[in-house]
């Protein structure tokens, strides 16, 4: 396993540089290329999500809200609770600043990629309407770009496994419940195996029901888990008011600390922030366009605006809440390993010794919602490579990977997913940048002709 991990580390060091250039450099280009127009219509995006402009006769399978909920269900999860802890553990408080910067850029990437998901929808071999990177690559860039779409899908067969979520939930369960003491002495390996099997069974009940069942479950779980987590963190902050400002000061001062001792110094600090932000909100990854491409709408720009809310919710809000709790509690100075333990320490210290139990309940909701939604992405990748009938077999492979992830070392899981994400970002961002002028034309049409009546409704 150590040799396999060393190979992963070597590959990541090469491909993550390309990912950095495409996500940060390409994202910044999109921010300025859009002239900040999408950001100016943030309020309008909320109105679209709330269903003010829904037309039941529009093509698609799910509403704007269901698409956003399903996409956010895949991103608001362990990446926001454990991923932030991992980033702070490896890079210190300053890494949070670079997570923010990547998220703001990611909003623009989500706008462009999810607009393209509607613009270039296509029917699969079963005649069902589909959207996502593989379709806007082949439909927008032409048949010559099909190998790029296939490369994305092959990487997705690994990247869209729920292994990180399972691994971190298992670690949470082990640290909080301590089953050897509370139930029976079966050994850590056996208990993790049991947790993996239970998660596999629960997940199978939902994912074999298809997109609509996943979307319905996600739109129920996501609001509940976000609100519960938000209330818990607000309470912690309210009872530690004097520590909030110093925590923010620490983030800003350490963000530009050239002496920060992490992988590769200052460059490593930025890279770590980008890597964890991409893991958190999946901007540039190409996952969200798969859900947003199924929305009932004829307006690509509307769906792009809705998708733009994703990085704001899961990174600007949820990741910041996690980071502040970790910093004001001092947990980042106590954790001895790489993972969710740091967040568990923070919650336990600040919620009268019972916060770790509450966090485990929240993590369970985060984990399940993420597991439900990720399977859909993998099915779409395998379906594109083969056909929808074979694509459904991804769920069998997916369920098996859950059990494996429960017992695998955390470093192997993190590196495996980071590599897959970098490989997926490359073809997706190439396509998004290539097709950006097409989105700008749609944007000019939408905001130029449609925004006046919309403004009247909003006012």
The tokens 């290539």 sit on which residue? 434
Q: Kindly give the residue spans of alpha helices, DSSP state H, lying in 160-286.
A: 163-177, 179-182, 188-207, 211-238, 241-255, 265-281
CATH topology of domain 7-458: Amino acid/polyamine transporter I (1.20.1740)
Q: In 3D, which of 379, 399, 406 has the Cα closest to residue 390? A: 379
pLDDT at residue 382, as a whole number: 93
CA 115 to chain centre: 18
Place of tokens 């439909």: 139
Q: What is the DSSP letter of 433?
A: H
Residue 458: what pLDDT? 45
pLDDT in tens, 213-234: 666 666 666 677 778 888 888 8
- Can you tell me whether residue 129 is helix, strand or coil? strand
Instruction: Convert the pLDDT of each residue in 138-175 to its tens digit.
Output: 999 998 999 999 999 999 999 888 787 787 778 777 77
Pick from 192, 217, 196, 197: which is nearest to 207 by CA? 217
**Under DSSP, is residue 299 helix (H, G, I), strand (E, B) or coil?**
coil
For the record, the structure tokens of 3 come out as 């040799």
Q: What is the pTM of this model?
A: 0.82
CB atoms within 10 A of CB 407: 17
Give residue 263's pLDDT: 46
**Could you tell me which of 45, 36, 43 has the C-alpha nearest to residue 302?**
45
Residue 238 and residue 231 in contact, taking contact as beta carbons nearer than 8 Å: no
Report yes or no: 358 and 351 within 8 Å, Cβ to Cβ. yes
> Scanning the structure block, which residue is given the tokens 């017992």?
407
Show the CA angle centred on residue 452, arms to residues 450 and 454, nearest 5°.
70
Strand 129-130 vs strand 122-123: parallel, antiparallel, or unpaired?
A: antiparallel
Q: Is 128 helix (H, G, I), strand (E, B) or coil?
A: coil
CA distance 141 to 126: 23
10-residue block means of pLDDT along the chain (459 residues)?
71 80 90 92 89 82 77 67 78 83 89 95 78 93 93 92 80 70 60 83 76 62 75 89 91 73 53 64 82 88 91 85 89 70 84 81 78 83 90 89 82 82 92 96 83 50
Q: Residue 281's pLDDT is what? A: 64
Question: Beta-carbon neighbour count of residue 212 at 10 Å?
Answer: 12
Average pLDDT over all residues of the chain = 81
CA distance 70 to 55: 20
């Amino acid at each position: 396993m150590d040799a396999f991990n060393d190979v992963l580390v070597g590959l990541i060091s090469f491909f993550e540089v390309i990912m950095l250039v495409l996500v940060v450099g390409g994202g910044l280009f999109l921010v300025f290329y859009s002239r900040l127009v999408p950001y100016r219509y943030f309020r309008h995006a909320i109105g679209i999500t709330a269903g003010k402009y829904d037309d039941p006769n529009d093509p698609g399978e799910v509403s704007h809200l269901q698409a956003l909920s399903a996409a956010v269900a895949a991103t608001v999860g362990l990446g926001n609770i454990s991923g932030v802890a991992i980033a702070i553990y490896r890079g210190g408080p300053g890494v949070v600043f670079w997570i923010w910067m990547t998220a703001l850029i990611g909003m623009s990437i989500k706008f462009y990629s999810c607009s393209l998901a509607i613009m270039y929808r296509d029917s699969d071999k079963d005649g069902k309407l589909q959207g996502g990177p593989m379709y806007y690559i082949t439909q927008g860039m032409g048949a010559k770009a099909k190998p790029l779409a296939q490369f994305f899908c092959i990487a997705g067969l690994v990247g869209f496994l729920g292994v990180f979520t399972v691994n971190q939930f298992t670690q949470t369960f082990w640290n909080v419940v301590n089953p050897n003491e509370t139930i029976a002495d079966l050994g850590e390996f056996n208990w993790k195996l049991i947790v993996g099997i239970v998660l596999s069974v629960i997940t199978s009940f939902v994912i074999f029901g298809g997109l609509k069942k996943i979307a319905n479950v996600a739109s129920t779980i996501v609001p509940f888990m976000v609100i519960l987590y938000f209330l818990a963190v607000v309470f912690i902050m309210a009872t530690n008011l004097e520590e909030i400002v110093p925590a923010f000061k620490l983030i800003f001062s350490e963000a530009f600390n050239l002496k920060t001792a992490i992988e590769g110094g200052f460059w490593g600090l930025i890279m770590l922030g980008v890597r964890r932000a991409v893991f958190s909100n999946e901007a540039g990854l190409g996952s969200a366009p798969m859900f947003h491409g199924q929305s009932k709408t004829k307006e690509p720009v509307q769906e792009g605006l809705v998708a733009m809310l994703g990085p704001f919710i899961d990174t600007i809000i949820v990741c910041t809440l996690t980071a502040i709790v970790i910093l004001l509690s001092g947990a980042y100075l106590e954790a001895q390993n790489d993972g969710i333990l740091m967040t568990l320490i923070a919650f336990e210290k600040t919620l009268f010794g019972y916060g770790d139990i509450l966090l485990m309940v929240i993590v369970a909701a985060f984990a399940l919602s993420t597991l439900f939604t990720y399977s859909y992405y993998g099915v779409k990748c395998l379906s594109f490579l083969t056909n929808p009938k074979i694509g459904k077999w991804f769920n069998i492979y997916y369920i098996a990977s859950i059990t494996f992830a429960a017992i695998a070392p955390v470093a192997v899981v993190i590196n495996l997913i980071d590599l897959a994400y970098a490989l997926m970002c490359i073809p997706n961002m190439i396509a998004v940048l290539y097709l950006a002028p097409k989105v700008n034309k749609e944007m000019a049409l939408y905001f130029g002709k449609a925004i006046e009546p919309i403004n009247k409704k909003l006012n």
